[in-house]
Amino acid sequence: MAKRILITGAAGFLGSHLCDRFIKEGYSVIGMDNLITGDLKNIEHLIKEKNFEFHHHDITKFVHVAGDLDYILHFASPASPIDYLKIPIQTLKVGSFGTHHCLGLAKEKNARILIASTSEVYGDPLVHPQNEDYYGNVNTIGPRGVYDEAKRFQESITMAYHRFHGLETRIARIFNTYGPRMRLNDGRVIPAFIGQALRGEDLTVFGDGSQTRSFCFVDDQVEGIYRLLLSDYSNPVNIGNPDEITILDFAKEIIKLTGTDQKIVFQELPQDDPMQRQPDITRAKEILGWEPKVSRSEGMRITYEHFRSMSKEELDKREH
């Protein structure tokens, strides 16, 4: 009998790639999503699979799945700053009530659950690179707090279920991940810059562009998550690519990649925007034997090709 896995946030960027991977591994996959930031287009190719079913459901409401479950991957949550600033209460609710419901379901089914945490639990970090023992520097009452604190609560309640109920839990602290199926207009820097280059607009660098990020290609991320789920390790593990770059240099890379001659314009840095971010992946290497394999130039080439194939109509669609 195929192992059965529930993936929340299945119609989103990471969730849809995870559905693909687990279908490929021979699992029976239940994708759940309320489509608030996701798109059914991301999983439409799976609908014909006999081992895939989709449940349209808001997980801040009680979550029920008939039959046995072996695993849960809990990925539902807005993930781009623009999304979670637009829907702050839903963001807090999916990280808190949504996570509670998923943990309750895991307990009922005696299933192992992996939750999608984030590098944002480190906030604007005072330790560099960030390792899992760092407690973070988050402004609880700032605009980003709705996401960061929801994710910190998510980690706490997950560890409580692990310690108190003996539930098998896994915590992935995911660092900036990119690739095909990101929403072009979700405001995250990679789709934002690529969209601007494709439309012939100036690239908007926030602040002076000296803040850093470290971008991980989606295939590497999925491999890390897959290995973590199947491991026996219940403390948090950073999954990301340590190759760090300033946002200004990254904008210049995009101009080179797209072969356009767009100008760079500087706009105000959003409040509490972390100044530096780079994962220390020593733990993932030791415990999972995992490290990223796809270079930024290769991953960005694939991602750019994906967006380049979009119609003009899709490119021009604005959300904000």
Residue of 38, 191, 224, 292 interacting with ligand NAD (CB under 6 A): 38
Binders of ligand UDP among residues 244 to 263 (CB under 6 A) are 247
Residue 111-150 contact track with ligand UDP, rule CB under 6 A, x = bound:
----------------------------------------
The answer to the question of residue 299 lying near ligand NAD (CB under 6 A) is: no
Phi, psi of 116 (to 5 degrees): -85, 100
Q: Are the beta carbons of 211 and 274 closer than 8 angstroms?
A: yes
What span, in angstroms and rounded, lies between the C-alpha atoms of 52 and 30?
A: 6
Judged by CB under 6 A, the residue of 176, 211, 238, 241 near ligand NAD is: 176
294 binds ligand UDP (CB under 6 A): no
Largest CA distance in the chain: 58
Q: Which is nearer to ligand UDP, 104 or 142 (CB)?
A: 142
**Contacting residues for 288 by C-beta, under 8 A, at least 6 apart:** 224, 227, 228, 231, 233, 237
Two tokens at 225? 């998550």
CA torsion 100-104-105-110 (nearest 10°) is 130
**Residue 144 phi, psi (nearest 5):** -75, -15
Kindly write out the interface string for residues 202-241 of this chain, putting x where it contacts ligand UDP by CB under 6 A and - elsewhere: --xxx----x-x----------------------------
Residue identified by tokens 């990119």 is 178
- Among positions 43, 189, 228, 294, the unique one binding ligand UDP when judged by CB under 6 A: 189
Nearest distance in Å: CB 72, ligand UDP: 25
Per CB under 6 A, 273 contacts ligand UDP: yes
| Residues tagged active-site | 147
Q: Is the dihedral of CA 258, 264, 267, 269 positive or negative?
A: positive
Count the site residues for ligand NAD by CB under 6 A: 28
Question: Does residue 191 bind ligand NAD (CB under 6 A)?
Answer: no
- Residue 269 carries which DSSP code? P
Does 299 participate in binding ligand UDP (rule CB under 6 A)? no
Task: Give the binding site for ligand UDP (CB under 6 A).
Answer: 80-81, 176, 187-189, 192, 204-206, 211, 213, 247, 270, 273
